Structure 1
Amino acid sequence: MKAPRSPPSLRIFRAAIQLKSTNVSRKLATAVTSITAPSYLSLPPPGPPIPPVGTSFGAEYNDNLFRYTSGRWLYNESQQMAQRYIKFDVAALYRVIASVCDSHVVSMEKKEGLFNKTLMVTLANGRKVAARIKNPIAGPDHLMTSSEVATMDFVRHNLGIPVPKILAWSSHAHNNAVGAEYIIMESAPGVQLSTVWHTMDSKQKKNVVNSLVALEQNMLNAKFAQYGSLYYKDDIPESKRAPQLFTHGSRRFDSEGKFCIGPIAHRNFYEDERAAMNLDRGPWSSPGDYLRSLALREEAWISRFAKPNIHDDPFRSVSGPQLQEEHLRCLEQYRSIIPALVPTARKVLASNLWHPDLNPGNVFVSDDEERRVVSIIDWQGCWAGPAYLQMTSPSFLACDSFGLPSGLDCPKLPSGYDLMSLDTKAAMREDHKAQMLYKLYEIKQLYPYRISNRETRTMPVRAAGRTWKDGILPLRLALLDVFSQWPELSRGDEPCPLRFTREEVQELKRQRDRYVDWHDFLDDMRTTFGMRLYGWVSPHEYPSKRALLEGTRSRLPVALTSQLEAILPQDWWPFRDTVPLPSAPEARA
Structure 2
Amino acid sequence: MKAHRSSSPSRILKAASIPRTATSRSRSTSPSAAFRKFATAVSIPSPQYLSIRPPNTPAAPAVPSPLFTYGNTSPVNEDLFRYTSGRWLYNEAEQMAQRYVKFDVAALHQVIASATGSHVVSMEKKEGLFNKSFMVKLANGKQVAARIKNPIAGPAHLMTSSEVASMDFVRNHLGIPAPKVLAWNSKAESSPVGAEYIIMETAKGVELGSVWRTMDSKQKKNVVTSLAALEQNMLNAKFSQYGSLYYKNDLPEMSRARGKLLASGSRSFGNTEKFTIGPIASRNFYEDERGAMNLNRGPWSTPEEYLNSLALREEAWISKFAKPNIHDDPFRNVSGPQHQEEHLRALEQYRSIVPALVPSSKKVLSSTLWHPDLNPGNVFVSDDEERRVVGVIDWQGCWAGPAYLQMSAPSFLYAGDVDSGLEFPKLPEGYETMSADGQSFAREHHRAKMLYKLYEIKQLYPYRIDQRETRTMPVRAAGRTWKDGVLPLRLALLDVFAQWHELSTPDVPCPLRFTRDEVRQLKEQRDRYLDWHDLLEDMRATFGLRLYGWVSPDEYPSKRALLEGTRSRLPVSLTSELDAVLPEDWWPFRDTVPSAIAMAA
Fold match by TM threshold 0.5: yes
> 1:375 maps to which residue?
391
The answer to whether the 8 Å contact 2:179/2:391 transfers is yes
Structure 1 residue 580: Cα displacement: 1.2
Matched position secondary structure for 1:482: helix
Match of 1:203 among 215, 218, 233: 218
Matched position secondary structure for 1:399: coil
Matched position secondary structure for 1:218: helix
Matched position secondary structure for 1:133: strand
Change (3 A) 1:22 1:272: farther
The answer to whether the 8 Å contact 1:33/1:527 transfers is no
Does residue 252 (structure 1) correspond to residue 268 (structure 2)? The answer is yes
Structure 1 residue 399: Cα displacement: 2.9
Does residue 433 (structure 1) correspond to residue 417 (structure 2)? The answer is no
> 1:227 maps to which residue?
242
**Counterpart mapping for 1:504-519 below 5 A:** 504-519=518-533
Match of 2:303 among 287, 294, 317: 287
> 1:54 maps to which residue?
67
> 1:477 maps to which residue?
491
Structure 1 residue 42: Cα displacement: 8.7
Matched position secondary structure for 2:236: coil
Matched position secondary structure for 1:64: helix
Flag structure 2 segments of 5+ consecutive residues without an equivalent: 1-22, 54-58
Equivalent residue letter for 1:199: T
Equivalent residue letter for 2:337: P
> 1:10 maps to which residue?
none
Match of 1:275 among 291, 295, 301: 291
The answer to whether the 8 Å contact 1:318/1:569 transfers is no
> 2:16 maps to which residue?
none
Equivalent residue letter for 1:531: L
> 1:91 maps to which residue?
106
The answer to whether the 8 Å contact 2:228/2:455 transfers is yes
Does residue 537 (structure 1) correspond to residue 585 (structure 2)? The answer is no
Change (3 A) 1:523 1:171: same
For 1:200 and 1:210, locate their aligned partners in 2 and report how far apart those are by CA, in whole Å.
Answer: 15
For 1:496 and 1:106, locate their aligned partners in 2 and report how far apart those are by CA, in whole Å.
Answer: 66
> 1:307 maps to which residue?
323
Structure 1 residue 143: Cα displacement: 0.2
Does residue 447 (structure 1) correspond to residue 461 (structure 2)? The answer is yes
> 1:349 maps to which residue?
365
Structure 1 residue 47: Cα displacement: 6.5
Match of 1:178 among 172, 177, 193: 193
Change (3 A) 1:196 1:311: same
Q: Which aligned runs of 4 or more in structure 1 are off by greater than 3 angstroms? A: 19-39, 41-48, 562-570
Structure 1 residue 304: Cα displacement: 0.1
The answer to whether the 8 Å contact 2:165/2:247 transfers is yes
Does residue 148 (structure 1) correspond to residue 152 (structure 2)? The answer is no
The answer to whether the 8 Å contact 1:74/1:535 transfers is yes
Matched position secondary structure for 2:554: helix
Matched position secondary structure for 2:179: coil
For 2:492 and 2:60, locate their aligned partners in 1 and report how far apart those are by CA, in whole Å.
Answer: 25
> 2:173 maps to which residue?
158
> 1:191 maps to which residue?
206
Structure 1 residue 567: Cα displacement: 4.0
Change (3 A) 1:219 1:428: same
> 1:459 maps to which residue?
473
Structure 1 residue 20: Cα displacement: 11
> 2:125 maps to which residue?
110
For 2:85 and 2:24, locate their aligned partners in 1 and report how far apart those are by CA, in whole Å.
Answer: 36
Does residue 217 (structure 1) correspond to residue 232 (structure 2)? The answer is yes
For 1:259 and 1:227, locate their aligned partners in 2 and report how far apart those are by CA, in whole Å.
Answer: 14
Matched position secondary structure for 1:231: strand
> 1:393 maps to which residue?
409
Structure 1 residue 253: Cα displacement: 2.5
Bigger Cα displacement from structure 2, 169-178 vs 551-560: 551-560
The answer to whether the 8 Å contact 2:82/2:96 transfers is yes
Change (3 A) 1:162 1:28: farther
Equivalent residue letter for 1:571: D
For 1:47 and 1:507, locate their aligned partners in 2 and report how far apart those are by CA, in whole Å.
Answer: 39
For 2:62 and 2:310, locate their aligned partners in 1 and report how far apart those are by CA, in whole Å.
Answer: 28
Residues 282-332 of structure 1 deviation map (CA, whole Å, 9 limit, x = unaligned)? 000000000000000000000000001211112233511211000000000
Change (3 A) 1:263 1:20: farther
For 1:29 and 1:411, locate their aligned partners in 2 and report how far apart those are by CA, in whole Å.
Answer: 38
Matched position secondary structure for 1:129: strand
TM-score, normalization by structure 1: 0.92
Percent identity for Structure 1 against Structure 2 = 73
Change (3 A) 1:20 1:229: farther
For 1:27 and 1:206, locate their aligned partners in 2 and report how far apart those are by CA, in whole Å.
Answer: 40
Structure 1 residue 561: Cα displacement: 2.5
Bigger Cα displacement from structure 2, 569-578 vs 149-158: 569-578
Does residue 337 (structure 1) correspond to residue 353 (structure 2)? The answer is yes
Change (3 A) 1:410 1:30: farther
For 2:140 and 2:97, locate their aligned partners in 1 and report how far apart those are by CA, in whole Å.
Answer: 36
Structure 1 residue 514: Cα displacement: 1.7
Matched position secondary structure for 1:364: strand
Structure 1 residue 563: Cα displacement: 3.6
> 2:568 maps to which residue?
554
Bigger Cα displacement from structure 2, 41-50 vs 124-133: 41-50
For 2:283 and 2:271, locate their aligned partners in 1 and report how far apart those are by CA, in whole Å.
Answer: 26
For 1:32 and 1:43, locate their aligned partners in 2 and report how far apart those are by CA, in whole Å.
Answer: 21
Matched position secondary structure for 1:493: coil
Match of 2:280 among 264, 267, 270: 264
Flag structure 1 segments of 5+ consecutive residues without an equivalent: 1-18, 585-589
For 2:241 and 2:551, locate their aligned partners in 1 and report how far apart those are by CA, in whole Å.
Answer: 41
Structure 1 residue 185: Cα displacement: 0.1
Structure 1 residue 519: Cα displacement: 1.2
Change (3 A) 1:34 1:365: farther
The answer to whether the 8 Å contact 1:192/1:363 transfers is yes
Residues 165-198 of structure 1 deviation map (CA, whole Å, 9 limit, x = unaligned)? 1000000000000000000000111111111111
Change (3 A) 1:103 1:256: closer
The answer to whether the 8 Å contact 1:44/1:532 transfers is no
Equivalent residue letter for 1:311: H
The answer to whether the 8 Å contact 2:334/2:483 transfers is no
For 2:364 and 2:30, locate their aligned partners in 1 and report how far apart those are by CA, in whole Å.
Answer: 38
Structure 1 residue 50: Cα displacement: 3.9
Change (3 A) 1:477 1:42: closer
Change (3 A) 1:345 1:318: closer
For 2:241 and 2:562, locate their aligned partners in 1 and report how far apart those are by CA, in whole Å.
Answer: 52
> 1:496 maps to which residue?
510
The answer to whether the 8 Å contact 1:365/1:374 transfers is yes
The answer to whether the 8 Å contact 1:43/1:528 transfers is no
Bigger Cα displacement from structure 2, 194-203 vs 249-258: 249-258
Structure 1 residue 506: Cα displacement: 1.2
The answer to whether the 8 Å contact 1:330/1:475 transfers is yes
Matched position secondary structure for 2:163: helix
Equivalent residue letter for 1:288: E
> 1:8 maps to which residue?
none
Structure 1 residue 553: Cα displacement: 1.0
Matched position secondary structure for 1:75: coil
**Counterpart mapping for 1:388-427 below 5 A:** 388-401=404-417, 404-427=418-441
For 2:77 and 2:586, locate their aligned partners in 1 and report how far apart those are by CA, in whole Å.
Answer: 39
Bigger Cα displacement from structure 2, 53-62 vs 470-479: 53-62
> 1:4 maps to which residue?
none
